Structure 1
């Protein structure tokens, strides 16, 4: 990765081009959805892009479909062919990218692609939430499988117990929403993302080279982290202050085609 020293000179980049990182269940989806609603920042999800290309039979979609049918891991080059053009289309817009990158190698590809396109990342937020809190969230989580809508009995329950708010269909527990799977997912997350976090920590923010690109935000709940995230974005991107309103207790709504899940 072509890294930029934290104190090196850099041109001012005004747009919010953001990644949200954190353990499974840390609230990435909830907070991304709040930003989308409160600040009109679109959340671009890698999974939605992949499904769109497969569904519409594009060249890269057919390539991805072959990989999926073979049960293989999606090559990083294919993911960049899916994601890269979508980001370039939004060169002059704000966005949050969800679901990519997941590894250090993917982070390097994304960083270099955006640098070459002269539209570098301007913020990476790392959510830090206690593991026991995340585990309880996962145990309380129920999903409407056809749509992917997620509910949590603690802070975002369905209007009618056990039923999806939109369709009235039954909610289900995901097979991996259990303590043993959670432990394995956490271990895998740390193994894959620690090098990526360290890499982003060494890169300067293009808006202000005296600041790091990566900012850790800690808290036990999304409501606790939300005002810190709001303040951070208002400080670094002052033009967004006019878009926002207070959002206490907002636990997130249903995910749309380019929206993040509410409890990722």
Structure 2
């Protein structure tokens, strides 16, 4: 399915609702979509020892959370690298500085913007007020995962690039809890079983090796309920924020198979090519 314009998408939903499954299915159905994960970007930058990665790693080693501003920089850097985002060039009156910039633009810019050494080239660190032009090409379509999680983060992102579809995925709590609590894993291989619809041949044992299955910490009812409470606390203002902007769309269902066709239909209406 071809798109007619850029889709900039966020999926919101309780832990265990199936956001990852929906993302995978959307990427297969709409090849012009890309997945951009803030967590993956963070790990990749730390691994490659970029300026942002070194900065983030130092923060984490001190036992602190990586600040929103750094996560946003990682996302902006990724979008800019892909060519989907470019710093806007405002028209300014001619000044002595601008004349100097025409002779030696790097020298003039360095006096105003702090530079960061990143890999083998130098890039200006964008200021809080930097404006961007964003591509509306269908190939500049993405699903953003992991950011924003709060209304404050959403406002920071809005200032750089507008999200044009937020999918609020709703599944009844008891359905998710049943799904989560019945999930068991073979630790060595990652094989996943569910005692309701994909039970192991021998209860509590992996089909291939016969080794015992475990329940992940995140899949324990008390852990999940604590995560759900945290999610509800932050997601309500986030959803209200996007509702006011007119980009929020809600979908309900008891399973991923029930929800996926509804998402595909809505996505085609908003971004698909007219036939």
Gaps of 5+ in 1: 1-12, 115-119, 204-211, 243-264
Farther off after superposition, 153-162 or 168-177: 153-162
CA shift at 1:184, angstroms? 0.9
Report how many residues are paired.
214
Q: How do 1:113-262 residues align onto structure 2 when only pairs under 5 Å count?
A: 113-114=160-161, 120-142=162-184, 151-153=192-194, 154=196, 172-203=214-245, 212-239=246-273
* Cα root mean square deviation, aligned: 3.0
Q: Deviations over 1:183-226 (max 9, x none)?
A: 111111011111011000000xxxxxxxx200000111111111
Q: How far, CA to CA, are the matches of 1:17 and 1:145 in structure 2?
A: 35
Q: How far, CA to CA, are the matches of 1:63 and 1:50 in structure 2?
A: 11
Larger Rg: 2
Q: Is the Cα contact below 8 Å between 1:141 and 1:150 reproduced in 2?
A: no
Q: 1:33 to 1:146 in 2, by over 3 A?
A: farther
Q: 1:60 to 1:143 in 2, by over 3 A?
A: farther
Q: How do 1:15-164 residues align onto structure 2 when only pairs under 5 Å count?
A: 15-40=6-31, 41-88=33-80, 89=82, 91=84, 92=137, 93-114=140-161, 120-142=162-184, 151-153=192-194, 154=196
Q: 1:188 to 1:222 in 2, by over 3 A?
A: same
Gaps of 5+ in 2: 85-136
CA shift at 1:107, angstroms? 1.1
Q: Tell me the TM-score normalized by structure 2.
A: 0.69
CA shift at 1:42, angstroms? 1.7
- Bigger relative contact order, structure 1 or 2 (CA pairs below 8 A, ≥6 apart): 1
Q: Tell me the TM-score normalized by structure 1.
A: 0.72
